[in-house]
Structure 1
């Protein structure tokens, strides 16, 4: 195999690789937004949250209801007397001291907390889908390099056999080339299996039934770089769903405590009645008011419990804020480290390796170096590209982790 045929074989191998994922028409290509849409639509946990929110919405409407009035009718007759009478009363309980408003506020904040918890779960699902999607793309690119490495090892083996037959190298060099081919073959097979495993994880996230158990070709994308750390920290309280849920739970606990404190005062009952004296044939209009006697402070325990829950929710909110702030700082530091590492490979290592290979190729054409030195230069270039893929994958995962702390950010460009 001459050099032109060798590089032609590499090109064929490089562009034929996507057939491992199955033959799909162009129309069946899957983009990241579509994968996220499928994942959110098919996730059973989000469906459970939707039902929970509906329950809390009904609870809010229940809290807003007024107590029903009470209608009473009575007939009084005293034996031997002429003062028999019939009466009709309409009575209504009054909610005093803001009890109803506190109950409505409690129910509203509970619903808001459930909504934010659902959004937090949604962000987690988005993060997993983005990460799985990107891992499939990286596995495919890495498998291409493995196939290229295998072709290179086979070419080294071919040259080693020719040199051995010409008694220009030892049998040990030939055995070493055989071992290299076998190792590269195992690596290439592992690359194919890694594609299948990555596709399986992606299908698990977006719903295997939605894709009929098969993964289409994926539309490549690159994650968007996050904003500055100061900007992210300032946005965290307003845009992080978990923090918003904690704030809603704290407000709900405060409303529940206020409701318990308002319960210290019993609800009076007012009434309006009409009394008809049957013997005399006249009507009397009567009004009444009733108030339970506060002999037993039955709401004292509820008030103490409400205060404890409120303090607990405040502490949990502060703890979560510190935890997320620390997580964001650590994630941002990791991102910057991975960004620097990826930039080193992209801007220095890869160009240097490519330039070295070009020079080695030119030297080989003029007969200055042996063919094995040219192949070794090509091997170093492949290893540098593989290291760049590893750095890009770590960089993307760090970007996705930062992204998952906030409201949905555009990730495809």
Structure 2
């Protein structure tokens, strides 16, 4: 994620605004409505929050002391001779308590406390990735609407062209081959329209799954697609990786492994057990107190295996942290490069390719009507224009997918996610 965590993320930004901007504007209000629905309704988010509550319960358990033990013992009764009956019986009531030493309880609580931090970072990362996926899915939905509008326009124009060519053929002004070419264009436009309708239905279904809400709840928001982000410097972008929840998670795992190593050493120290009781001597009609202290002798089991395991886990956590930092740095560089390329591609299509294709189509249409260009030349210019417009939409979608990934890496919506996760913590109790 961006292998897994990045199917993914966040907000549209105005052209003059930095990529980190959070302000809700007329451009991105519909997108924020989608985010709000995801944060309120997503079962995946609630699952992550429940995991935090599970870890907190584990911390409570880890901080509990061992329970005391009570015993009642009767000796020298119902035997032979003087031990018949209960006149010579000895009855003992005692209590024992294991005393944890060497910081075991403190270390247990610290190890368990890191489970809470890890679960919290997992919940935040999951929520951020959900918002990223919501951003990309919403962008795909708007692009699907644009593609359908383009396909409908193409189909309408193809129908008009087909009727016009048909009349020209009947008037013996155009050849049958032009009619065949117009037929092909009309059928192709119909296929493209059907495909665009299917893609729009699929986009709606994906968005409804993510938000657990009917699409009628969301207003149209195609304006935000046209607003291009202002890129930060690459150094600023890469420096934000240190605050990723996945990086924090790896740091917590490393710290937890260190505490687990200390706990394994602490568990090698035997805990004493202190006892206190009272004994009733029936034959002497007297009572007496008794006290005891005991502890295991670390002859065979000195927790050697657990100490070795903890040491290996500590090394593993250190290497995992380093590997994670390298992975996310590589990912960030790829995302930054992809975002730069995506912006340039969109600008090229918007400012150069589409205007040129439109000009060529207008010239070919006018030339065909004036008899200077062939029908095939006009048809080729028309197809080139639609292909350029469709490619523009594809590049626009790629731009917003890259923007979502960049926002994920920069933690654009970390604050609202943190508040949402904290707000829901404890609801499962």
- Give the TM-score category using the shorter length: 0.7 to 0.9
Report the CA distance between 1:270 and its aligned residue: 3.6
Quickly say closer, same or farther: Cα 1:128–1:244, change in 2 above 3 A: same
> Aligned match of 1:296 in 271, 294, 300?
300
SS in 1 for 2:64: coil
Matched, 1:347 2:351: yes
Matched, 1:199 2:204: yes
CA contact (8 A) 2:33 2:218 kept: no
33-42 vs 175-184, greater mean Cα deviation: 33-42
Q: Where do 1:311-322 residues align within 5 Å?
A: 311-322=315-326
Report the CA distance between 1:40 and its aligned residue: 4.0
Of structures 1 and 2, the one with the larger relative CO (CA 8 A, separation 6+) is 2
Quickly say closer, same or farther: Cα 1:399–1:72, change in 2 above 3 A: same
TM-score of the pair, normalised by structure 1: 0.76
Report the CA distance between 1:58 and its aligned residue: 1.1
CA contact (8 A) 2:48 2:126 kept: no
Matched, 1:236 2:236: no
RMSD: 3.8
Q: Give distance in 1, aligned partners of 2:403 and 2:295.
A: 63
TM-score of the pair, normalised by structure 2: 0.74
280-289 vs 324-333, greater mean Cα deviation: 280-289
SS in 2 for 1:405: helix
Q: Where do 1:136-285 residues align within 5 Å?
A: 136-207=141-212, 210-211=213-214, 217-220=219-222, 221-222=224-225, 224=229, 227-238=232-243, 240-271=244-275
Q: Where do 1:263-412 residues align within 5 Å?
A: 263-271=267-275, 288-353=292-357, 380-409=384-413
Query: What does residue 426 of structure 2 align with?
Result: none
Report the CA distance between 1:377 and its aligned residue: 6.1
SS in 2 for 1:342: helix
Query: What does residue 115 of structure 1 align with?
Result: 120
Quickly say closer, same or farther: Cα 1:198–1:85, change in 2 above 3 A: closer
Report the CA distance between 1:180 and its aligned residue: 1.4
Spell out, residue by residue over 1:175-202, the C-alpha distance to the aligned partner (whole angstroms, 9 max, x if none): 2122212211222222222211211222
SS in 2 for 1:31: helix
Spell out, residue by residue over 1:48-67, the C-alpha distance to the aligned partner (whole angstroms, 9 max, x if none): 33333222211100111122
Query: What does residue 66 of structure 2 align with?
Result: 67
Report the CA distance between 1:173 and its aligned residue: 1.7
Unmatched segments (≥5 aa) in structure 2:
1-28, 415-429
Report the CA distance between 1:140 and its aligned residue: 0.7
CA contact (8 A) 2:34 2:218 kept: no
CA contact (8 A) 1:113 1:245 kept: yes
Unmatched segments (≥5 aa) in structure 1:
1-29
Q: Give distance in 2, aligned partners of 1:100 and 1:380.
A: 73
Quickly say closer, same or farther: Cα 1:249–1:134, change in 2 above 3 A: same
Report the CA distance between 1:402 and its aligned residue: 2.5
Q: Give distance in 2, aligned partners of 1:161 and 1:370.
A: 18
Query: What does residue 5 of structure 1 align with?
Result: none
Matched, 1:45 2:44: yes
Query: What does residue 25 of structure 1 align with?
Result: none
Query: What does residue 56 of structure 2 align with?
Result: 57
Report the CA distance between 1:229 and its aligned residue: 2.5
Q: Give distance in 1, aligned partners of 2:362 and 2:176.
A: 30
Q: Give distance in 2, aligned partners of 1:175 and 1:375.
A: 12
Q: Give distance in 2, aligned partners of 1:343 and 1:224.
A: 12
